[in-house]
Amino acid sequence: MRHRALRLAAALAVAALTLAGVQGTALAASAAGPSGTPAVHAAAVFNVKKYGATGNGSTNDSPAINKAVTAANAAGGGIVEFPSGSYKSANTIHLKSNVTIQLDAGSKVLGSSAKAYDAAEPSPYDKYQDYGHSHFHDAMFYGDKLSNIGFTGSGTIDGDGNLIAGNPGSGQADKIISLTRCTNLTLSGITLARGGHFGALINGCDGVLSDHLTINTSSDRDGWNIISTTHVAITNANISSNDDALVFKSDYALGATLPSGHVTVTGSTLKAKCCNALMFGSETCGSFTDYQFQQITILGAGKSGLGMVSMDGADISDVHYKNITMTGVHSPIMQKIGTRLRCGGKPTVGRISDVTYDDITGTGASSPDYSPTIWGADSSHQVSNETFTNVDITVPGGKGAMSTGVPSDNGDYNPNSIGTRPAYGWYLHNVSGIHFTDSSVKAGASDGRPAILANAGSDITFDGLTAQSGGSSPFDVGFQKISGYCVSNSKNTSGGALRVSASGSTASCGTAAPDLDFPDLG
């Protein structure tokens, strides 16, 4: 565990440097004091009202805001302050380095229906990802290749129902905040609301600090997309979206395959009405490594609570989930290696490996079809080396008996891309080195399917498993073409032995003492 602690400390150190970098715009060193250490002074504050902003909620204050940003940048850095008031912003605000946007209590920046935002720029790479990911200029706030920038305070930026959830037309915006290739970004304290396609989208950035950020895009689409970005520390976020809430991606919008990683997310609450709460993908060109997710509450997801897909060649590894509670999620945990390969260059099928889940509680909702799933692409591209410790999943159940054959796959990335799973609980396909310890799986209604079914792979173990037996299920835990499986120290919810089925599989329990009942396959 020591190496994980060191990585976490390093990420938090980067976050502290990020904040220091942004606040460096608000602090300037003077001559050394008596002790030889430099004194610091508050940086200049550029009140937008002094540059002509009215804050009356109807006048277009964008020209004044842009003047204040330019002045702060020209002065070597500073704070652009929005006092209490409502600031209609009909034009794109062009962010600049060493400038912090400070939204005071009671301040609100409002989007406009005037169709005067910057046009979406041409992109030679837009065939590799959706339109909204491919264009960045069409936003309320935009910046590229900036350093030491921030959004702080306690005010709100609200699209006011005027941002576009689909592809924007001339003069329309589809994002509140759009940042590319930036370093040292702070996004803390404020609220983003009604963001169109995205509350915030960042791509190709390094050094991101966020604390007590609130995003409410439940009436439009995504909360926060973090794409091809490294060294991120997010604490106390509260994101409620219609589409994905907090999502990590790696696309080809910047004309390169870029890495992502060294990320911590703690103490946060997420909710996604139609889609995924905490997600990797679907855009997954560059690789992802070193992610720590802890103390997270998920209050609903129309797709995955914890979703992870590699569709375009990414290697996803060294990802750790701990102390996470999920309610009302259609698929509590979903992993898939896909073969879409929608990326520049010559991508090959990716990998998912070295992922841990500790102290996870999930309650599924609505659909009994989207069982928790780990799905490798084929025998050469298996999901591998994962541990599940104290993972307790309760799903709706209520399906009748069905074939235990492999369900169909339409090649998409959503939980419904795979047909109804032949297990009400965990379905594992093309996997190796998957280990469950002290975990449980239950159904809200009696189900005719087994609790767990593993198909094609090796080294699959369950130690201390508690599984609910379906009223008409042929067995509780099944292995199909698994080389090396073991179920030990396990029981059903009544305390009896689990019924295990093994077809074309070999047991390998080592010194563990299995407590099993082997029925006929039926």
Taking the C-alpha atoms of residue 452 and residue 313, their distance in angstroms, rounded to an integer, is: 28
pLDDT value of residue 367: 76
Cα(147)–Cα(76) distance, rounded to whole angstroms? 12
Here the tokens at position 233 are 């520390």
pLDDT for the residue numbered 510:
67
Distant-in-sequence, close-in-space partners of 511: CB < 8 Å, separation ≥ 6: none
pTM exceeding 0.75: yes
C-alpha distances (whole Å) from 199 to each of 87, 100, 155, 192, 235 are: 18, 18, 15, 6, 17
Q: Give the H/E segment covering residue 66.
A: helix 62-74
**Could you tell me which residues come within 8 angstroms of residue 205 by beta carbon, excluding any fewer than 6 positions away?**
179, 180, 181, 182, 183, 185, 229, 230
Tell me, what DSSP letter sits at residue 423?
Answer: S
Closest CA to 143 of 112, 111, 182: 182
Q: How many CB atoms lie within 10 A of CB 341?
A: 16
The per-type count for the chain, helices as H runs and strands as E runs, is: 3, 38
Largest alpha-carbon pair distance within the chain? 86
pLDDT at residue 520, as a whole number: 40
Splitting the chain (522 residues) into consecutive groups of 10 residues, what average pLDDT does each group show?
44 42 36 38 88 98 98 98 98 98 98 98 96 98 98 98 97 98 98 98 98 98 98 98 98 97 98 97 98 98 97 98 97 97 97 98 84 97 98 94 95 94 97 98 94 98 96 94 98 96 92 43 35
Backbone angles phi, psi at 276, to 5 degrees: -105, 140
Q: What angle do CA 316, 322, 326 make, to 5 degrees?
A: 100
Rounded Cα gap, residues 427 and 450, in angstroms: 10
CATH number for domain 2-27+41-366, candidates 3.30.1360.70, 2.160.20.10, 3.30.9.10, 3.30.420.40: 2.160.20.10
Let me know: does 279 contact 239? Beta carbons within 8 Å: no
Buried b (16+ CB within 10 A) or exposed e, 451-490: bbbbbbbbbbbbbbbbbbbbeebbbbbbbbebbbbbbbeb
- CA gap 62, 90 in Å, rounded: 6
Residues 95 and 122 sit within 8 Å (Cβ to Cβ): no
Structural domain boundaries in the chain: 2-27+41-366, 417-522
**What Å distances lie between residue 454 and 279, 380, 487, 506, CA to CA?**
24, 17, 12, 13
Q: Which residues contact 50 (CB under 8 A, 6 or more apart)?
A: 68
CB 178 within 8 A of CB 154: no
Strands (E), 342-465: 351-364, 373-375, 383-397, 426-437, 440-445, 452-463
Whether the bond into 282 is cis, omega within 30 of 0: yes
For 371, the token pair is 């069982």
Q: For tokens 């937008």, what's the residue?
A: 48
